[in-house]
Amino acid sequence: MIVIAITGASGVVYGVELLKALKELNMETGLMISDSAKIVMKYELNDCNLKEIESLADHYFEANEIDSSINSGSFKFDSMVIIPCSMKTLSAIANGYASNSISRVADVALKERRNLVLVPRETPLRDVHLENMLRISKEGGIILPAMPAFYHEPKDIKDMTGFIVGKVLDVLRIDNEMFKRWEKP
């Protein structure tokens, strides 16, 4: 199972598009959405239907339900992707502060040596942001900033989000054709 967490940074569309891609690939998913992300969704997704987004996943877990089974190291999942990842969530993970299910599951991923991919969406970055990213990277987490490329000549936002989603799938070693790969002209 791949656990997807959507937190309260701009770019919630990345999380939704990743869920759609994984559903198309018949991959089992679990989903958590932070309270802040639910607010951001209202601003960034014109036709935001929370139940519809939740239905893209096989399992839904409340982000503040600390006694949920997903918070245990004995819960079976292969990977976790936090997309987008707010600096608040990134800081909690880097400092071992498991204040909710999202940061707790990320903590489990690191301590159990499972895949953890964070897609931070913030700019510019402060020193503390960079230090927190480095700390997580040193523990085996993958930092994959939402920095779209342009060599594939994106035509619209879907092309740009597809690039980031495709890169997430790549680091999870899931074959995909979400974007045109670089070829020397």
For 37, residues 6+ apart whose C-beta sits below 8 A from its C-beta are: 6, 7, 8, 9, 12, 15
Give me 139's structure tokens.
């523990």
- Give the DSSP letter of residue 44: H
Return the SS3 of 26.
Answer: coil
> Could you give the CA distance from residue 168 to residue 145 in angstroms, rounded to a whole number?
10
> Could you give the CA distance from residue 169 to residue 144 in angstroms, rounded to a whole number?
11
Annotated binding-site ranges for dimethylallyl phosphate: 151, 167
Annotated binding-site ranges: 8-10, 34, 86-89, 121, 151, 167
Annotated binding-site ranges for FMN: 8-10, 34, 86-89, 121
Return the SS3 of 75.
Answer: coil
- Give the DSSP letter of residue 144: -
> Could you give the CA distance from residue 69 to residue 128 in angstroms, rounded to a whole number?
32
